[in-house]
Copies of this chain bind each other. A is one copy, B any other.
């Protein structure tokens, strides 16, 4: 998640921004990056933000440990890019590169998930756990709050309570059905095995949010096998009928 320093809360989906320089040859308005996990799709985009771009990386200890364990991330020179450890459930001010307050706070909270793919041990499937390895983020400007949960293996009662009545939630939309990858011949794993709850079905995301009264519900982190990506699919219509939007690159929203 890339946090923009503008007064509006803007949301850049995924990790590769296409923002234009606003001042200077290589400037960008990116003031901070919040990591919600240590898997490739959450962290690899940092490698395109290197080269003397001052910003902060906010993440849990466990996710910072992943960066520390991979020397390639030293391209984010530590004297220029601040690595800030964020404790779970503690609202944390998001700094601007010059140290001033951005007016935004972020709160990271554990959601059910698994270890990053490349850290899995051979043999047994990794356990689902609810720790600082897979987190959601609540971003607030003191007036409105959005939730960003790009990876989540199950809706727990605590998570439902947290999201109830929210102004906006971005949520894991990886798969439509749990066996979708297998049926498409893309791999041997179910969604649960990959740490994702499905969008459809009795235990799916649409059902889990049905009573939560979230005003804007936006699916993201969508696998290319998921039929909701097709604007004219029945599944897209079903998602829309349930009050959900399908996220897209460059999406902005005003709360």
Whether A185 pairs with B118 at a CB distance below 8 angstroms is no
Minimum CB–CB distance from A108 to chain B (whole Å) comes to 21
Q: How many copies does the complex hold?
A: 2
Residue of B nearest to A51 (CB): B187
Whether A72 pairs with B44 at a CB distance below 8 angstroms is yes
What are the residues of chain B within 8 A of A117 when measuring CB–CB?
Answer: 75
A25 at interface, CB cutoff 8 A: yes
Minimum CB–CB distance from A33 to chain B (whole Å) comes to 16
Residue of B nearest to A79 (CB): B122
A24 at interface, CB cutoff 8 A: yes
What are the residues of chain B within 8 A of A231 when measuring CB–CB?
Answer: none
Q: How far is the CA of A66 from the CA of B75 in the complex (A)?
A: 14
Minimum CB–CB distance from A219 to chain B (whole Å) comes to 20
Residue of B nearest to A184 (CB): B25
Interface residues of A (CB under 8 A from B): 24-26, 40, 43-44, 47-48, 50-52, 66, 69-75, 117-119, 184-187, 224-225
- 17 new A-B contacts, CB < 8 A, other than A40-B72, A74-B119, are A25-B184, A25-B185, A25-B224, A25-B225, A26-B224, A40-B75, A43-B72, A44-B48, A51-B187, A66-B72, A70-B70, A70-B71, A71-B119, A72-B72, A74-B118, A75-B117, A75-B118
